[in-house]
Amino acid sequence: MAEMDYSKIAPGTFTAIEHLAPSGSNLPGAAKMLGMVASSAGSPKTLLFLRTHEHAEFSQMPAHGITINQNSGRIRTAICPIEKIGVLASHPGVKFIYPSVQLKPKMDRALKLINFPSFQVKTNLTGKGVIIGIVDSGIDGRHPMFDGRIEAVWDQTIPGITVAEGDYGHELTGHAISKARDENGHGTHVAGIAAGAHLQYQGVAPEAKLVIVKTDFQNAHIADGIRYIFRVAKSLGMPAVVNLSLGGHFDAHDGTDALSELINDVSGPGRLVCCAAGNEGDDDIHALTELRGHSPDAIQFRLQSNGNTPAEAVLNCWYGGSEPLELAIESPIGQVTPWFSADTSATGVETLYLAANRIIIDGRRDIANGDYQVLISILPSSIQLGTVWRLHLRNRSSANVKVHMWAMADEGNVTFRPPHAYDGFKIGSPGSASSAITVASITSRDSWTDITNTRRSSAMPLGAISPYSSPGPLRNGKLKPDLAAPGAFLISAMSAQSGANVDDSYKIDTYLRANAGTSMACPVITGLCGLLLQRDRMLDPYSARRLLTSAVSPMPGFDRRYGFGIIDAAAL
C-alpha cells in the first residue's frame, strides 16, 4: 500500500480491510457492509465517498485502477483498489475519504386519515408533469399500477448499459423497462404508495412519471442514484422529488455525513428529497452518557448470535471535545483490552485480542463537524448467546463530554442495556440531511382481509405514532423528524417477483400487499411533494418543508416522535 496520509481517512476504511480473510477473496458481512467488493482482478476494491475541492481534477487516477464517478463537485464517489488508497489520499484535491456503507430498506384509509380526498377535490392535482424518483430495491416493470409511466430504470446491481453517474449497472428505457425486476418487493410497494394508479388503493400522485434506481443500498451508490434521477428529470424538463425509504447508523446523526451533504448540494428549486425517519423506535440501538471531567464510565451491551454464526458487533461512537477519550473493551468473562485513544498511534487503528476474540478499534477526528468518531468492531470466535460486554470510557480532560453510540447493524444482534440505553437520537443518514423532508410513521389501519379471506389485525393504536418509528432529535440538537404520515398498514403494489417470499397474511391478492414502516410513510409525503411541484415547478426544499409542517394536526410544539405533527393534506 502506498504511503498513507491517515489524517484524511475516516474510521471504517481500515476496519473493512482488517476484516478481510487472508486470501482476500472471502468478504465477511461487516466488510461488505463497509463497501468492500470482490474484484475479478484479485485484490478487493473498496467503494468510497470523497470530500473534495469542488473543481479538483483526477484524470491520472485511472492509471492506478481508481475510478472517480464525477468530474466535479465537493462530494464524489469512487471505486479504489485497497492498496491504492494511499495514492488517493495523497491527491491534493482530496480533503477526506469515507467508506461507503450499506443502508437498509426501512392506500385508501391512509389517505382518508390525512384528509387527502378534500385536498384532491380542491386542487385536482394528480402529479402530471412531475417525476417521482425511487431509489430502492427496484420495481416490477410489468405491474399494472405503473403502466406506461416508468421513464427509466437504472439497475445498479447488474452489468450492462452504464450511465453518466457511474460506470456500472444497466439502464433500461423504452420497451426494455418491462424487464425491470424487484425480487425484494420493497421498492415496488413504495412506488405504488407514491404514484400507483388503482381504483381502490390509489397512490398519492397517480399521473406522475417514475424514474427508478434499483440499488445495492451502498450509500455511495444511493448518492449516484439521486444524481441520476435529477439528471433524467432535467432532460425531460420536469421537476422531481426523490424518495429514500432507507437509512443506517454509521454516520454522526447530525447531517454532516457525505450522503446528507450530497442531498443538500443537489436539492434546490424543483428538486426535492424525502427520507424515512427509520424503524428503530422500539429497539435499544442507541446509548448516551455524559462523562464529567477526569471521570470514567462503562456502557453495557448484549451481543446475540446469528443462528450458528458468531455475532459481530459494530459500534459507532461519536463525541466532541478538545481531545480524544480513552476506551477499553471488557469481555463477558472479565478480560479487558488495553486503553485505546485516537491519538495513540499514527494510524488511529488498533487490532486487539481478548483470548480468541478479535477487536478492531478505528478512531479519529472528522473533518466535517470537528468531532471524534470511533468505530469498534468485535468479532467473537464462537457462539455466545446473550453475553454482556462492556465499553469502558475515560475522560482525561477537565471538561464534560457527551458520548453517543449506535449499533450499526439492525438485526437486533447488539442491544444496549440500562442505564445508558436511550430512546432518542435514532434518526441517521440520510434522514438527518438538512434539506431532506424526514417522515415518521403513524398507524392508519389495524386490520385487513388477506388473500385466503382471513381477517388479520394489528394491536397498534389507530392514529397514533407507530411504535417502531425512530425518534429524534439529531445529535447537534436540530429538529428531526419533520412530520408524520400514515405508515402502518398500507396496501399497495406487490412485485410479482417477490410474491413467493411474502407471507399470505400480508397478501391482499396477486397484485397487492399490506406493509408497515416509515418506508411506507415516506412515499405518502413524496407523493404530496409531487403534487406541490405540479402546482409550483420551482418549489424548493425549505419552502416545501414550511408548507408541509404548517399543514399538520395541532401539536404543542416539536415532538421527537411526531416531528411538528401529522400531515393534514386539506390544509395545503
Q: How many domains does the chain have?
A: 3
Is 186 an annotated catalytic residue? yes
Tell me how far apart the alpha carbons of residues 360 and 16 are, in angstroms, rounded to a whole number. 10
Q: Is 422 among the domain residues?
A: no
User: 170, 186, 198, 286: which is the annotated catalytic residue?
Assistant: 186
Query: From first to last of its 572 residues, what are the pLDDT tens digits of the chain?
Result: 456 778 898 888 777 666 554 444 444 555 555 566 655 555 678 899 999 999 999 999 999 999 999 999 999 999 998 889 999 999 999 999 999 988 888 766 788 889 999 999 999 999 999 999 999 999 999 999 999 999 999 999 999 999 999 999 999 999 999 999 999 999 999 999 999 999 899 999 999 999 999 999 999 999 999 999 999 999 999 999 999 999 999 999 999 999 999 999 999 999 999 999 999 999 999 999 999 999 999 999 998 766 666 667 899 999 998 888 999 999 988 999 999 998 776 678 888 888 878 899 999 999 999 999 999 988 877 656 568 999 999 999 999 999 999 998 656 688 999 999 999 999 999 999 999 999 999 999 989 999 999 999 888 888 999 999 999 999 999 999 999 999 999 999 999 999 888 999 999 999 999 999 999 999 999 999 999 999 999 999 999 999 999 999 978 889 999 999 999 999 99
Could you tell me if 402 and 451 lie in one domain?
no
Could you tell me if 214 and 175 lie in one domain?
yes
Q: Is 489 among the domain residues?
A: yes
Query: Which is nearest to 493 in space by CA: 201, 221, 205?
Result: 201
Residue with cell 388477506: 450
Residue 346 in grid coordinates: 499514527
Q: Give 136's contacts (C-beta < 8 A, 6+ positions apart).
A: 105, 186, 187, 190, 191, 212, 213, 214, 215, 243, 245, 246
Is 155 an annotated catalytic residue? no
Q: Is 391 among the domain residues?
A: yes
Could you tell me if 258 and 324 lie in one domain?
no
Could you tell me if 218 and 142 lie in one domain?
yes
Query: What is the pLDDT at residue 384?
Result: 63
Contact 119, 35 (CB under 8 A): no
Could you tell me if 143 and 261 lie in one domain?
yes
CATH number at residue 10: 3.30.70
User: 91, 136, 283, 469: which is the annotated catalytic residue?
Assistant: 136
Q: Is 1 among the domain residues?
A: no
Domain of 90 in residue numbering reads as 6-99
CATH number at residue 240: 3.40.50.200
Whole-model pTM?
0.94
Q: Is 376 among the domain residues?
A: yes
Is 170 an annotated catalytic residue? no
Residue 341 in grid coordinates: 485513544
User: 100, 331, 435, 519: which is the annotated catalytic residue?
Assistant: 519
Q: Is 236 among the domain residues?
A: yes
| Last-in-domain residue among 397, 416, 435 | 416
